[in-house]
A = this chain, B = another copy of it.
Amino acid sequence: MTVVAGGASAARPQLIRAINEQVLLDHIRRSGPVSRTELARLSGLSKPTVSAALSTIERAGLVHATGQRTGVPGPAAQLYEVRPEAGFVLGLDVGREFLRGAVADLAGNVRSRMNLRTKAADATARIQELSDLAGTLAAEAGIKPEQLTQTVLGSPGVYDARLDALTLTGRLSGWDSPATLAALRDRFGPSLIIENDIDAAALAERVHGHGRDVDSFAFVSVGTGIGMGLVLDGKLRHGSHGVAGEIGYLPFTEGSGSDPRDARKRGGFDASASAAAVVRAARRAGVRASSAEKVFAAAARGDAVAAAVVAEEALLVAKAICTVITVVDPELIVLGGGIGQAAGFLEAVIGQLRHLAPVLPDVQASVLGADSVVAGCIAAGLDQAWNQLVARSPAI
């Protein structure tokens, strides 16, 4: 977490206190239960300063004393930790087939989690299902819905400020209407944040996956749809219109499975390389397969024609990654999605990339599962909730 003393504005002594309280909170969040003296060591601040700042944030309800550590010479050290009940975060993931969700406390512990297959046919029914899911999750977590300080919804599409609606929502019918967004806001209140689902997965990757140790990476997801989440300098980049990472719109049209109608609706690269395009390419090549999964399985069994289709897909994905490298040159590329995480696909992509890209960054396949969007939403919500609480805390 970075503390920025805004643009060209002058600083008061109070700023020091604000920064130091954030630093201490950060250390407590990361290191779990710690004593004042340890905090002094970690932060470099003096013991009296740590005591003073800590008592402020304790009074604000963000941390609390939680036990003593003995075993070493000297008095038992009083340990402090984040007060988990200071806030709760709801993370939701709305997809075409599944709804997923979880509730976590401020310490990041998941209190309840649930996935369900959607039966909704339109946006209204979908919102009702989300609403019911939220209620169930809160109840299971043992809290009242009002205690949710932050709700983050991972959804296909991006927010368009001009229309005040989601756009590019892909296969989710009715989801791009302004009424849908209004209904969501109405139901989930002002704390609702809507994050692109793949961006949320990238955040999960940043917190729990390969992105942990680097501060700039691209999460490239290839599956039913295609997209990317871009983390630069540790921060998710949405772009000026929210479309950063919409690599489905890369102007590639050469794939043999490309469908011109798809190209108009979801972008050239999506039409050439999504799961549906793999199936189309396979059929054109004479492989009978009802899903991309089966094409990959056939290739793995040694079907030469299917293998050629897979190789072609790997080349397309390598080209997309090459594009990302030439534009922003991230430290790491994480491949995700049904196709991206398929066995052997990573190696095939790297093999192609070697011939295309000016440099070869670290490329890894994601190890996170289907819950990653929810996990990313929770992570985003926790950060947001922390900022809210810290900003609201009286000393600052």
Q: Which residues of A contact B (CB under 8 A)?
A: 1-13, 15-16, 19-20, 23, 26-27, 43-45, 168, 216, 228, 230, 232, 237-251, 254, 267-268, 318-319, 322-331, 356-359, 361
Q: Is the CB of B250 within 8 A of A328?
A: no
Closest 8 CB pairs of A and B: A239-B329, A244-B329, A240-B331, A11-B19, A251-B319, A241-B359, A327-B327, A249-B358
Q: Is the CB of B251 within 8 A of A356?
A: yes
With A232-B237, A329-B244, A359-B241 as contacts: A10 and B20 at CB distance below 8 Å: yes
Closest CB of chain B to A248's CB: distance in Å?
8
Q: Is the CB of B239 within 8 A of A328?
A: yes
CB-CB under 8 A from A9, the residues of chain B are 23, 43-44
**Among candidates B45, B268, B323, B330, residue contacting A10 with C-beta atoms closer than 8 Å:** B45
Q: Is the CB of A326 within 8 A of B246?
A: yes
Query: Bound complex: CA of A13 vs CA of B15, how far in Å?
Result: 9
CB-CB under 8 A from A328, the residues of chain B are 230, 237, 239, 244, 327-328
Closest CB of chain B to A144's CB: distance in Å?
34
CB-CB under 8 A from A357, the residues of chain B are 249
Closest CB of chain B to A325's CB: distance in Å?
7
Q: Is the CB of A322 within 8 A of B250?
A: yes
CB-CB under 8 A from A238, the residues of chain B are 329
Closest CB of chain B to A222's CB: distance in Å?
14
Query: Bound complex: CA of A228 vs CA of B27, how far in Å?
Result: 39
CB-CB under 8 A from A19, the residues of chain B are 5, 10-11, 15
CB-CB under 8 A from A26, the residues of chain B are 8
CB-CB under 8 A from A324, the residues of chain B are 327
**What is the chain B residue whose CB lies nearest that of A268?**
B356
**Among candidates B1, B267, B326, B329, residue contacting A250 with C-beta atoms closer than 8 Å:** B326
CB-CB under 8 A from A331, the residues of chain B are 240
**Among candidates B5, B241, B245, B325, residue contacting A243 with C-beta atoms closer than 8 Å:** B325
Extra pairs beyond A268-B356, A323-B323 (6, CB < 8 Å): A2-B6, A2-B7, A13-B13, A230-B327, A240-B331, A243-B359
Q: Is the CB of B356 within 8 A of A240?
A: no
**Among candidates B2, B230, B246, residue contacting A4 with C-beta atoms closer than 8 Å:** B2
With A232-B237, A359-B241 as contacts: A5 and B8 at CB distance below 8 Å: no
Q: Is the CB of B44 within 8 A of A10?
A: yes
Q: Is the CB of B329 within 8 A of A323?
A: no
**What is the chain B residue whose CB lies nearest that of A318?**
B251
**Among candidates B246, B247, B322, B330, residue contacting A251 with C-beta atoms closer than 8 Å:** B322
CB-CB under 8 A from A43, the residues of chain B are 8-10
CB-CB under 8 A from A237, the residues of chain B are 232, 328
Query: Bound complex: CA of A357 vs CA of B330, how far in Å?
Result: 23
CB-CB under 8 A from A329, the residues of chain B are 238-246
CB-CB under 8 A from A45, the residues of chain B are 10
